[in-house]
Structure formats: C-alpha cells, structure tokens
C-alpha cells in the first residue's frame, strides 16, 4: 500500500555529524600543521568552520522563512537546540527564553568528551564552540551571542547569552 506523503529522511544526530567531520578535519589539520605550522593550521580551520557555520545558519533561516513566512527569533532558535541535544549530547538549563533573549547554561557536553577521546581536545573549540556565535550571522544578523566560558576550555559549564538587537 502506497502512502502519498513524502517521508522526511532520518535526522543524523549532530554529535555523529560532528564526529564524522572531525575525522576528516583531523587529517587536514595535521597536514596544515606539518606544512605551515600550528598557528596557520588553526587559523585555516577556524576560517573554514566559521564559514560552514554561517552557511548552516543561513540554511536554517531559509527553511524557517519558507515554513513560517518571517524571520526566526530566539524562541525559534531555542527549539533548534534539540538537534544539538539529540541523544543526550548536551544538557541545557534554560534561565530565560523570549523572542528577543535566550539565556541558558550547558551543564554537560558530549562534544567535548568526544573530541578528547579522538585526541582533538586541543582544537575542539575550533570544531564546535566557534560555530555558536557565527551561526547567528546566517540565521539572524540581529542575533548576538555573549559567552564567557566553555566546558571545552575546562569550565564547569558553558554560559550562552543570546540577544536580538534592534539596532542592527
């Protein structure tokens, strides 16, 4: 029996996606270090990952506008968190959630654990944390992130404070 509804493809957990990406980036990073040194390698990886994050944000923005007919806000963005949390990858404690402000702490980060296990703890922040603020550029240019610490860099929790500024 045929059902005429289109089935959505299964969503790969973001943690698994990042693991696969890291396996590829690890080799690229090692070649860059060998040929150009650690500083240049980190700069190249930073540029590439930030570019990918902006593109990903823009894709989510476009999808949101197509589905809802308006720019995404921070309440919408908060709902996207389930993609990064899938499978218990993150534990998030929300302090404030409105359309213009979103404040939460990450109290568990499997991404940090994964990069450590892969021998990539020294660039884990480049592979994941750098995405957070730059994702905003593609998703909603008025959206800004302030964060003073991350688990990836050794803190007990990550403090995410997003705001949509009308002055942009």
Weakest-pLDDT range from 9-13, 15-19, 41-45, 51-55: 9-13
Give the residue carrying structure tokens 């943690």: 15
Output DSSP code: residue 40.
Answer: H
Residue 9 pLDDT > 70: no
* CATH number of 101's domain: 3.30.1380
Say if 8 falls within a structural domain: no
User: Average pLDDT in the 124-131 region?
Assistant: 94
Instruction: For 18-30, write each residue's pLDDT tens digit.
Output: 999 999 999 999 9
DSSP string, 65-95: HHHHSS---HHHHHHHHHHHHGGGSEEEEEE
Say if 9 falls within a structural domain: no
Say if 137 falls within a structural domain: yes
Residue 1 pLDDT > 60: no
Instruction: For 71-94, write each residue's pLDDT tens digit.
Output: 999 999 999 999 999 989 999 999
Range of the domain at 76: 14-164
Q: Which residues pair with 158 in a beta bridge?
A: 106
Say if 7 falls within a structural domain: no
Quote the tokens at residue 1: 């029996």
Burial class (CB in 10 A: 0-12, 13-18, 19+), 152: buried
């Amino acid at each position: 029996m045929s059902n005429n509804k289109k089935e959505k493809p299964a969503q790969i957990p973001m943690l698994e996606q990042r693991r696969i990406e890291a396996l590829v980036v690890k080799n690229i990073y090692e070649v860059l270090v060998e040929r150009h040194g650690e500083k240049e390698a980190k700069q190249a990886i930073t540029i590439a990952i930030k570019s990918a994050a902006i593109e990903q944000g823009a894709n989510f923005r476009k999808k949101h506008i197509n589905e809802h007919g308006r720019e995404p806000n921070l309440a919408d963005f908060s709902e996207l968190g389930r993609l990064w949390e899938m499978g218990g990858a993150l534990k998030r404690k929300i302090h404030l959630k409105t359309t213009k402000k979103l404040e939460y702490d990450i109290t568990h980060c499997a991404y940090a654990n994964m990069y450590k296990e892969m021998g990539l703890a020294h660039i884990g922040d480049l592979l994941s944390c750098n995405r957070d603020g730059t994702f905003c550029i593609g998703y909603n240019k008025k959206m800004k992130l302030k964060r003073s610490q991350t688990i990836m860099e050794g803190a007990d929790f990550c403090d995410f404070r997003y705001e949509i500024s009308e002055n942009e």
